[in-house]
Structure 1
Amino acid sequence: MNKATKGAIAAGAAAVLLLGGLGSLALWNDSETLGGGTITSGDLRLTLVEDSDQWQDVSYDVTPVDIDISTFRIVPGDTVAYTANFLVEAEGENLTANLTADISNVVEGAGSAELLAAIQTSVVATDEDDVVLPTDGAGAAVITRTTNAPADQTISVEVRFTFDRLTEGTVAQDQSIDLTEFTLDLTQIRPL
């Protein structure tokens, strides 16, 4: 093979490599603009209805009664409930959310870790027609936005704080927890 042939082969190979690095060589092409419309996101909000909140003793063996939570002395087996009305804004197709009580930010008094550990929470909610909303079995109320339901509705919420009745001896006696930092969380869920 002579030098000219070798040079031509090398130049051809270089051209193929350069064109290959630039992508494919497109000749004819076409496109069409489609009238797809607009996508708008929904919203999920939880707002306390002013002056609707109160505390009650709802222990299983007493008649429910309003209490001052700052002076109530809880004992094993007691259940106190925070009740309030909330405006739920749930706008969006296929929107389902869990309503849970979060006590992870609750401040325990000095030496009060046992009391905090002995408190269990659960949430029950009813809609505007006094229909109890379903629960997830783990202490959360489940709110599902159906297509024909109003996007905004007021629900009644009861967050129960139960002092484990199996607490024995002197465990959790003379202890305190500050519930002013507990939150009610409305979180979208979407099964995989």
Structure 2
Amino acid sequence: MAIIADLIDADTDAIIELGCGYGINLFRLMRLLKDQKFRWFGAEYTESGRSLCAKLADLDGSEPMDVPFIDHAAPDLGFMADVEKPLVFTCHSIEQVSIIPNNYFSILARAAPGVRGVHLEPFGFQADPSAPNSPTHRNFMHDQGWNLNFFSCLKLAEEKGDIRIEHVEIEKYDTTPNNPTSLAVWISTV
């Protein structure tokens, strides 16, 4: 989670994970950033994940956390209406949605002023078919019925002028050759 923490700006007012499961990444960030104050959001698709995340946040008690519903296939980000400079991140949650909407990143970029997006997702084979693990990775994702359009949607949002991609690192973490993690960082330009 240090990579996420390093991308937080001085004026960031909210940390939002989309597809947080039971919130482990957010709780790790809270510990890492214990002297900084943010609004915390753990958005999750499953009722069980939202319920457990809310219970753990209550038990922890260090920071209040909102735990709204999110569906990557049809994102409704109304819960972000009153934040100004959020850092929005995903960590292996988009991977399980076979096709996200073409305007997915444009929706994220327009959800609040000053959005910064950080994605630790397995999209390397989409961005660079010649990357070391691409053939195995592509076959794995196809066999699982997992995401095949993350990178094209990211590039489309940049082409439309809704985001500026700041950094892409293919196969940043490749401990699992059939599903290595790549990194994408962007900022809203709308």
- Same fold? TM cut 0.5: no
The structure richer in strand per residue is 1
Q: TM-score range by the shorter chain?
A: under 0.3
Q: Bigger relative contact order, structure 1 or 2, given CA contacts below 8 A and separation 6+?
A: 1
TM, length-normalised to structure 2: 0.25
* Structure of larger gyration radius: 1
Higher helix share: 2
